[in-house]
Amino acid sequence: MTAADDGTLVETGPSDEPGVLYDVRDGVGVITFNRPQRLNAWGPDIAAGFYASIDHAEADPAVRAIVVTGSGRGFCAGADLGGGAQTGPSTDASGTDVSQLVGDRHPHFLTELRKPVIAAINGSCVGIGLTHALMCDVRFAAAGAKFATAFTRRGLIAEHGITWILPRLVGWGAAMDLLLSGRTFLAEEARELGLVNHVVAPELLLERAMDYAADLAANCSPASMAVIKGQVYRDALDDVAAVSARAETLMYESLARPDLIEGITSFFEKRPPNFPPLT
């Protein structure tokens, strides 16, 4: 037994199943955290599988959007506090090797991908699991799903960029509340705060998220989505004059791409667009 960041005691016995499942459906790469016995608490097995799956999806021209979800009752219930602990200079007070636990990428790498990432949050979303969900571009949540930052209740600090993304999503006051209190809140409050985009019935969650992602894959220019995603995250750190000047340059570049002709032609011909893949 071990504890996830949400305080739940979960089984952490060995499993022959991969820590992360990956498949492609309708132009969408579907990544599923696959340690339901521990509510998909983050550990080296999930980290390695997640990075490999993301790399596959990012490199595959047939994949135009990515959905991330969890198996069982949890999306990712924080860090696996106690599974496979080691000792060394990077260990915390519990004996856990933090660098091995987190993996070799911080969650903000999701904002640097060229393809949109949609989180389908099926259950507990806590700590590092919450940070990963916030670094996705769009979030669907199952009604009643539990969220928490939890850091102050574990004697930790706000980790891995959550202090950068959370205030941008929910505002300063709400972010301070959630970070300082570490309290548990439900998907419905998360929607009111703007932390998630959509709350749906649990049995419809993956279907709704997949429908959204498949629509992006079928009807939106991969090149346009890649540029806009880069604009949003980069422009948040700059002044409006610099942002406007950079947007003008990007606009001229977009005028030279075949996506523009296809987008206009398909509109007038009243047919779905056939945009070229990212190169």
What are the tens digits of pLDDT across the range 209-250? Answer: 999 999 999 999 999 999 999 999 988 877 767 777 777 788
Give the pLDDT of residue 14. Answer: 52
Give the pLDDT of residue 259. Answer: 86
Query: Of all residues in the chain, what percent carry a pLDDT higher than 90?
Result: 65
Greater confidence (265 vs 184) lies with: 184
Q: Rounded CA gap, 57 and 252, in Å?
A: 28
Model pLDDT for residues 63-79, shown as the tens digit of each residue: 999 999 999 999 999 98
Residue 90 has pLDDT above 60, yes or no: no
Residue 128 has pLDDT above 60, yes or no: yes
* Per-chain mean pLDDT for the chain: 87
Residue (of 78, 74, 70, 92) closest to 5 by Cα position: 78
Q: Rounded CA gap, 249 and 255, in Å?
A: 10
Could you give the strand order of the β-sheet that contains 185-186, starting from the edge strand earlier in sequence?
74-77, 124-126, 146-148, 185-186
Mention every residue, 6+ apart, whose C-beta is less than 8 A from residue 148: 5, 6, 126, 127, 130, 178, 182, 183, 184, 185
Helix, strand, or coil here: 77?
strand
Give the pLDDT of residue 3. Answer: 44
Model pLDDT for residues 177-218, shown as the tens digit of each residue: 999 999 999 999 999 999 999 999 999 999 999 999 999 999
> Locate tokens 């941008």: which residue?
168
Averaged pLDDT for residues 248-263: 83
CB distance 116 to 221 below 8 Å = no
Q: Rounded CA gap, 269 and 219, in Å?
A: 14
Give the pLDDT of residue 89. Answer: 37
Residue (of 24, 82, 17, 66) closest to 45 by Cα position: 17
Greater confidence (40 vs 248) lies with: 40
Structure tokens, 87: 């000792």
Alpha-carbon 77 to chain mean position: 14
CB distance 192 to 185 below 8 Å = no
Banded pLDDT at 91 (limits 50, 70, 90): very low
Determine which of 3-7, 197-201, 216-220, 266-270 has the lowest per-residue pLDDT on average: 3-7
Angle between helices 240-255 and 258-268 (to 10 degrees): 70
Residue 99 has pLDDT above 70, yes or no: no
Residue (of 68, 112, 135) closest to 226 by Cα position: 112
Please tell me what DSSP assigns to residue 107.
Answer: G
> Locate tokens 């809140």: which residue?
185
Q: Rounded CA gap, 32 and 122, in Å?
A: 11
Averaged pLDDT for residues 134-161: 93
Greater confidence (140 vs 157) lies with: 140
First to last CA, the chain: 46
Residue 8 has pLDDT above 50, yes or no: no
CB distance 44 to 192 below 8 Å = no
Residue 253 has pLDDT above 80, yes or no: yes
Averaged pLDDT for residues 81-96: 45
Residue (of 188, 130, 203, 202) closest to 160 by Cα position: 130
Structure tokens, 189: 């409050």
Model pLDDT for residues 10-38, shown as the tens digit of each residue: 444 456 789 999 999 999 999 999 999 99
List the Cα angle 181/184/186 in 5-degree steps: 135
